[in-house]
Chains A and B, each alone.
Chain A
């Protein structure tokens, strides 16, 4: 279950923040999380931010995967993994 979309905080007003998803702006309650600031990405579920997105982890996941796959590909057929 649990649809939730990464949204960028653009304004904070006590426990309510305005968040942006590619030009769609709406209000979200931030009372379930600590230390948010403007510019942070939060995961919003049913009108509540339930966590911050860890940017470093996000990038690392993709990079790790790319490098592992690229390595495998080179091993397999001598080509670079990037299409």
Chain B
């Protein structure tokens, strides 16, 4: 591609669009379904249930330590499909690009997306590109949708939690949200905190194929662990109790939280899952998660109770309890 900046022409559907697809996009995402260049992708799937999910990505900044908007968009949808207990297979990508966006940045984002899909073993089979006039979008927005196949016998849902279930988290919380926040202009932190953006499909497959009973899988993204636990407590009409001392938080992440008055329980994760597992299988599932490259720091953080349905309680380090409510609005840096 000769141009250095994305022009409105790149979204026109004409020659310039075609050359961008042929020269930039196709070589990166290459697969038989996409190469056909039909209006949609046609593919075979195994018999049984499908899972289908979509998500849009508007993160600011678009590049941050540990990733960029591209792998975030691919991993995010892979994870959403995986949390249905499905094996993600195919992904669609919709790009909305602001006029004047540097082609080299776009290339980097697309390369990262291709890398993320390849790593997860998922194909990007259809897509779309639109270019909007300067100021009508902020640099680049990405939508991804994904389809996955649910293996026979797998039945996970936010409504399946049962009293006695142990709750496992696959690693440290709040890494992604704090990374993005720290890289925003104005806050000016230096640290080695990185986004945890990662595909969790292999971890999920290992768990669901282990023969263990799995009730709930969820990735605590926006709203953080606290909000996700509230969703599950209300979907399943159960109480949830977690233990503050068991919550894994990286030192630097905790540091930023202290500085800005944030609660890590309400900060986004992009490469973590929580699993609700009956006590008998909890130890085994924990071991399986720990074997995965993205699950080394997995721990049990609490359990499901039949008291106070719909409510989430935290046992604090000093032995007190407090209610963990859903996040009500965006957390803002405070000085007080």
Contact = CB atoms under 8 A, between A and B. Distances in A.
Asked if the two chains touch in their complex, CB atoms less than 8 Å apart, one says yes
Given A1-B336, A3-B335, A3-B336, A21 B190 contact: no
User: What is the predominant secondary structure among interface residues of chain A facing chain B?
Assistant: strand
Contacts of B39: none
Interface residues of B, number: 18
Interface in B289-336: 334-336
A57 interface: no
Interface string B252-282: 1011101101000000000000000000000
Contacts of B46: none
Contact of A24 (B259, B261, B334): B259
Contacts of B335: 1-3, 45-46
Contacts of B256: 21, 24
Contacts of A53: none
Contact of B258 (A5, A25, A45): A5
A78 interface: no
A40 interface: no
B336 A23 contact: no
Interface in B180-202: 182, 188-193
A22 interface: yes
Contact of A23 (B255, B258, B259, B261): B255
B251 interface: yes
A3 B182 CA distance: 18
A75 to B, nearest CB: 22
Contacts of A27: 188
A25 B336 contact: no
A23 B251 contact: yes
Interface string B6-47: 000000000000000000000000000000000000000000
Contacts of B252: 21-24
B196 to A, nearest CB: 16
A26 interface: yes
Contacts of B188: 26-27
A25 B191 contact: yes
Given A26-B189, A26-B190, A27-B188, A21 B336 contact: no
Contact of A5 (B182, B190, B259): B259
B251 A3 contact: no
Given A3-B336, A45-B335, A22 B251 contact: yes
Interface in B205-255: 251-252, 254-255
A23 B254 CA distance: 10
Contacts of B254: 22
Nearest to A25: B190
Given A26-B190, A27-B188, A21 B255 contact: yes
6 contacts: A5-B255, A22-B251, A22-B252, A22-B255, A25-B190, A45-B335
Interface of B: 182, 188-193, 251-252, 254-256, 258-259, 261, 334-336
Given A21-B255, A21-B259, A24-B182, 9 more contacts: A2-B335, A2-B336, A3-B258, A3-B261, A3-B336, A21-B252, A24-B255, A27-B188, A45-B335
Q: Which 6 A-B pairs have the closest CB atoms?
A: A23-B252, A1-B336, A21-B255, A22-B251, A25-B190, A24-B255
